[in-house]
Each structure stands twice: as C-alpha cells, then as structure tokens.
Structure 1
C-alpha cells in the first residue's frame, strides 16, 4: 500500500509571489511505480549505450538492468530526447561565466551528474523522490560512480516541505545563471507541472534556461486535441504565463540530424527549451532594497537642506 506524501512548495520571497503549489510523490519500494518507471528509463539508456554507434554512453545505467537485455536496432524516443537534453545542457553550461548552477528534476536514477563532462566549478542539484534516489545512490556507489573532481553535487528530496528554501539553503543563488532540466520527474496533474514552473520562475535568474520533457497528455487533456499545433499553442500560453519563452522540439527531425531511426512505439512526452524572461525573486528583492536605499538617501538629503 502506497502512502502519498504531499509536498508544499513556496517561493523564497513572498513579496513577489504568494501562491502555494503542491506536488505529490510516493514513498518508494521495489514495486512502487516511481521506482519501476525509473528502472525502465535506465534500461533504455543501457540498451542505447550498447548500440554499435550509441547516442551517448551511460556506463552506470546497468546498475538497475536485468542481465542480457534485448538490444534493439533502432533508438527509442526517450534516448533521442536524452541526447538532445544532454547536448543542450552542456552547451549552455559551458557558455556561463562564473558560477555554474544546474538543477536536475529527475526520477531519482538520473546519471547525468556522473556521466557528463561538466566544466570545473559546476554545482549540480538533483530534485527527485528521496527513496528512489537513495536506493540508486547506493547502487551507483557500489559501481564506483563518482562526481567529477572540482564539481559539487547535492540532492534535494522531492518530499521536502519547502523545496525553494531547501535548495537555497544548499547554496543555490537566484542572482546567478542556472540551467534546469526536467526528465523523469513524476508529473501526475497539470497542477504538478504548474508548481514546477512556479518554482523555476521564482528561482531562476533572468536569461536562465529550462529544458525538459512535458507529458503530452497534459496538453491533450486541456485542449481536447492531439494536434501538434494545438499542443504548441497551449504550451506557449502556459509557459509565457510563468515568464518563459518556449520552443517545442520535434524528435523525429532531431533524430534525422543524428542519422538515427526511431522505434515505432508511440512516445508520450514533448521535449522543450524555455528561456526565463522574468527576474527571479532574489533579483527582485535586490532591486527592492536598492530602491529603498535610494529613497532613504533622498529623504536624508532633503532633510539636511531644510
């Protein structure tokens, strides 16, 4: 029997936002759907890495894969999406001067912190179901996985009562650029995704990027349609309402640029790249304090003249 735990998400600064969101996560056991879903994704990465010309190498995904899995000749949509997100993430991180912050919104078995070539002084935050993450971390440690030297890694449980406060307490800075990647994070309802957007919008500095995959059924349920045009319009609206300019990615076209054929299974996620157009709550707080300082100095000068 699963025991759902409600997670209340609040912005670190209630001066600019006062809405409280809710995400739901399950305590994880071996038969928990969250754990099994994460293992399935790891299995797809493992099989892709065994291709003659793999899209990426994930030497750690085998920690959770049964012996001798059936290797398919074509690439799964999930693996092509993973390749796209990997490339986009590393490209954006390498363009950041100074503090480099990456926030991974994951299923708990994301191996990016270990397998990607991070530039020096990259701080990586992982937000994921705690039980899945801890089980995966033990397996990864047993396989010899290590965070590249010169980088910092921190896990923030999805079940934390206040995720924005928790991640800020761990060193996240809203006045520095950040890259957010969402792949595998349990999203059950539209409210869940709106809460994610709320968190990223509150914490990410203007000009930061949010990459990821959105469950297609969210858009289909809202617009009562499966048309790609309708989905893009809906995504434009929901992202822009939270301060993001978004671009959807067509995996079939990206796969062609890689010379890859996709498997025939239908894929239920829509990859996206979004840019933060608003100031973070932290930036707004800095501006507020600066404005107050200027006002106070003006009042003092006026008083002296009198």
Structure 2
C-alpha cells in the first residue's frame, strides 16, 4: 500500500493585536484667579453733565470764554482803545481793537462790556498814549535797542500798529489763552509786524520765564526795552518776581517803562 504524503502542520494562528490603554490625562489646571459675576461688578458713576435745566434763567450755559476773567479784562481794555479810536480827535488810533471785540459784540450787547469797564478809563487812555510816544522815541533814537519785551494782557496790538526798526525782535509776555484768542480773531485782518521783524509769544504760565526767554533767543548781552501795561500781577510778590527776572536778563543801559498796577496792600504805606 503506497504511503500517503505527510501534510505540513497548519501554521499557528496569528495572535490578536494587543491594544494599549491610553495614558490617563492629567487633571485640568485650576486657574489662579476668579471671575467675578456680573452682579458683583460696580459701575463707576457718570459725572454729572450740564443740561438746559442747569443753565441760569434767561440765558444758555455760559461759555468758557465768558467765565475767563483774564480774557474779560483784556476785552475791557480793547473796548476803551476802540472808543478812543472813534473820537474826532483821538489820542491814538488802534485799528484792530474793533476786530478783537467783534465776536463779543455779536454775543453780548455793547453795554455788557460797558458795565464791566476798566476803572479810571481816562488814566488808561493817557498812559497808552504816553507809552506809544515813549516807545517810538526810544527806538528811533537808539540803534542798539532791538529786543523789546511787551508785558501785556494778551490783546496788546502795539506789535501791529506801531512801526518797529528793522531786525527788531518783539516778545509778548502774556496769558497764553488770551493771546491765542487774540491771534485767532486777528487772523485775516491784515495785522502784521513791521518788515524784517519777528513777534514771539512767551506764555505767562511758563514755570521759568527767564529760561523760556533765553531759549527763544533773548540775549542778555544786548540792550533791551521792557514795557509793562496790562500784565496780570495780582500781588506785590508777583511784581517782585517779575522785576527779579528783568534784573537777571537786562544788561546795564536797558530800559524799563510802563504802568505799575494798583495793589491794595500799598495803601497806607509811608
């Protein structure tokens, strides 16, 4: 009997793949801050706003310009110059005073400024004429005075209405807001300084007038002319501080002229 061929042993069945369990996830991180609920938030109160109910009776809410005492004082002086310029025989002529007043006349009756007029108006007219003549005489008789410092209320029109020698540098020391208002109102009116001259504004609010003047080209080694009229000086101390600045900047031979303000504490002094 023939022998049967031997069959190969069946291949071993493949072992099922082993599935590895994923590593456990780390616990979620807890934030180090807390969210406040909307109900616990406090809203900052809104500042009160002006409404029509807050306005004084008989008029709208006052504009900032109407509340500026320095601006009002400058407008009073401009009104006197305008009135003097309209007289048949004026002591001086200020063609720009009416331009400075035009905005306020449109908002107020001219009697508004008249009721708040500068005391001793005749004194203001006379001193204005005196200073004009003094300035013209000094600069016309001196070839060395080319630095002129005007200590004003911010609406002084001398830089535009007086004639200045060639290469003169005019410094207007005055309240910044008033000077800015005057500059805006005079724009387009033809107000210009003399040819080859320059006008620089020095804000009265500057923390160091001496330093600001020096940075704007003032030379203490050259003669200078200082003119005081209208600059707000509320106390004798403010006048003393101003004179200290002048004494530190003005060289020997320089000139100081103008009108000293009236101080109540000067009364009764011997």
Which TM class, normalised by the smaller chain length? 0.5 to 0.7
- Counterpart residue number, 1:56: 92
- Counterpart residue number, 1:34: 70
Contact kept? 1:96, 1:177, Cα under 8 Å: no
Alpha-carbon distance in structure 1 between the residues aligned to 2:81 and 2:124: 8
Alpha-carbon distance in structure 2 between the residues aligned to 1:215 and 1:93: 25
Instruction: Out of 170-179 and 61-70, give the one that drifted further.
Output: 61-70
Alignment of structure 1 residues 251-266 onto 2, 5 Å: none
Contact kept? 2:235, 2:263, Cα under 8 Å: no
Q: Would you say 1:138 and 2:184 are equivalent positions? A: yes
Considering fraction of residues, name the structure with more helix. 1
Matched residues, number: 195
Determine helix, strand or coil for the equivalent of 1:201.
helix
- Counterpart residue number, 2:243: 197
- Counterpart residue number, 2:254: 208
Deviation at 1:209, TM superposition (A): 0.8
Alpha-carbon distance in structure 1 between the residues aligned to 2:236 and 2:171: 24
Determine helix, strand or coil for the equivalent of 1:127.
strand
Larger Rg: 2
The Cα RMSD (Å) is 2.2
Deviation at 1:69, TM superposition (A): 5.4
Deviation at 1:29, TM superposition (A): 3.3
- Counterpart residue number, 2:34: none
Of 212, 220, 227 in structure 2, the residue corresponding to residue 181 of structure 1 is 227
Contact kept? 2:223, 2:252, Cα under 8 Å: yes
Do the aligned partners of residues 77 and 99 (structure 1) sit closer, same or farther apart at CA in structure 2, a change above 3 Å counting? closer
Q: Which consecutive segments of 4 or more residues in structure 1 shift more than 6 A?
A: none
TM normalised by structure 2 equals 0.67
Considering fraction of residues, name the structure with more strand. 1
Do the aligned partners of residues 99 and 183 (structure 1) sit closer, same or farther apart at CA in structure 2, a change above 3 Å counting? closer
- Counterpart residue number, 2:39: none
- Counterpart residue number, 1:159: 205
Determine helix, strand or coil for the equivalent of 2:170.
strand
For structure 1, the 5+ residue unaligned runs are 1-27, 231-306
Deviation at 1:112, TM superposition (A): 0.4
- Larger RCO (CA under 8 A, 6+ residues apart): 1
Q: Deviations over 1:103-125 (max 9, x none)?
A: 00110000000000111111100
Q: Deviations over 1:13-44 (max 9, x none)?
A: xxxxxxxxxxxxxxx83321100000000000
- Counterpart residue number, 1:224: 268
Deviation at 1:127, TM superposition (A): 0.5
For structure 2, the 5+ residue unaligned runs are 1-63, 115-120
- Counterpart residue number, 2:138: 92
Determine helix, strand or coil for the equivalent of 2:263.
helix
